[in-house]
Amino acid sequence: MSDQQGAAGTGETEEFAHVSVMVSEVLEYLAPKSGGRYLDGTLGLGGHSSAIFEAAGGDISLLGIDRDSLALDTAQKRLAPWGDRASFFQGSYSRFEEFMDELGWDTLDGALLDLGVSSIQLDDADRGFSFLHDGPLDMRMGASEGDAPAHRLVNKLSHAELKAIIHRLGEEPMAGRIARAIIEARSKEPIENTARLADIVEQAYPAKWRATARRHPATRTFQALRMAVNRELEELAYFLEHITERLAPGGRVVVISFHSLEDRAVKHTFRDEAKGCNCPRNVPVCRCGRVPRLKVLTKKPLTPSEEEVARNSRARSAKLRAAERLVEAA
């Protein structure tokens, strides 16, 4: 599931006119093999999973997870040709171990995350993800999971809390001004829709900044609120902490991220798992006993080709990292 998924696709029917990001790179680093078990933790419309099935000649088992019921229904139709080789669960990918246990799976031969918000969510005004379409200020990827909608955060959080979210998750230099503008506006009337919030944020920007901005001033604020509503960094942190132990020897994990904080979390986790020992630097001999569990396959993050970005501008900020589970010494 990715906010970088676009329009037309190779080998896709009109019903699924949708391109998943960096498909060839995913297949290269995931290296799906016949008889393997694979996790697609952000199933979306099933583009990556369909490609994984095709690359392995259909002879794999797939666990597909998505928070969004509409995306899940669409993916199930798309992957119907592979019958019961594909199993589907609605929920966050951080619950992958629970779903594996339901299937009786101990380990995985590969795991994929494509982070962000899908095009069908961005383009549906009623979901409240986009400032380009007026709609209720919601932003929940899965309404059944109990997450508070964005309008509740916007209308209830203190100035300090709003500023912290917008600054940290949106990396927004105007976070303080925007938070003050939100507090002032909601004192007159609750902020319930996307168009009003976008206008409040835009007007909080200095006029000179608005005139020279390359993108809409509300971009970072909407991103920050979406990530807060769906606890995206927390979900990723849990996944990264637990995925290595559920990979079979030689199993691979591939993560596509679109945010510097997400990419940093993946980079640091892969690096630490590849290093093993986490003793302080001033300790001459390892005392922790940790051994390397991963081999990093991408020294630097891969990015989409110029051709892919030309076809799908939403792909431009994608970064892919991959790692492989090592065989532990007896």
Between residues 141 and 42, the one the model is more confident about:
42
The class that CATH gives domain 148-230 is: mainly alpha
Residue 66 assigned as binding residue = yes
Helix axis angle, 219-229 to 194-204, nearest 10°? 130
CATH topology agreement for domains 23-120+233-325 and 148-230: no
Residue 48 assigned as binding residue = yes
pLDDT of residue 328: 73
Over range 166-170, report the average pLDDT.
Answer: 96
pLDDT of residue 128: 62
Residue 93 assigned as binding residue = yes
The class that CATH gives domain 23-120+233-325 is: alpha beta
Between residues 44 and 288, the one the model is more confident about:
44
**Domain chopping of the chain, boundaries:** 23-120+233-325, 148-230
Query: Would the pLDDT of 12 be above 90?
Result: no
pLDDT of residue 146: 58
- What mean pLDDT, rounded, does the chain reach? 89
pTM of structure: 0.89
Residue 29 assigned as binding residue = no
How far apart CA 167 and CA 19 sit, in angstroms, is 31
pLDDT of residue 186: 97
Task: Label residue 252 by pLDDT band (50, 70, 90).
Answer: very high
Over range 87-105, report the average pLDDT.
Answer: 97
Residue 106 assigned as binding residue = no
Between residues 265 and 213, the one the model is more confident about:
265
Residue 110 assigned as binding residue = no
Residue 126 assigned as binding residue = no
Task: Label residue 256 by pLDDT band (50, 70, 90).
Answer: very high
Two tokens at 256?
């596509």
Query: Would the pLDDT of 13 be above 60?
Result: no
Query: Would the pLDDT of 287 be above 50?
Result: yes
Query: Would the pLDDT of 320 be above 90?
Result: yes
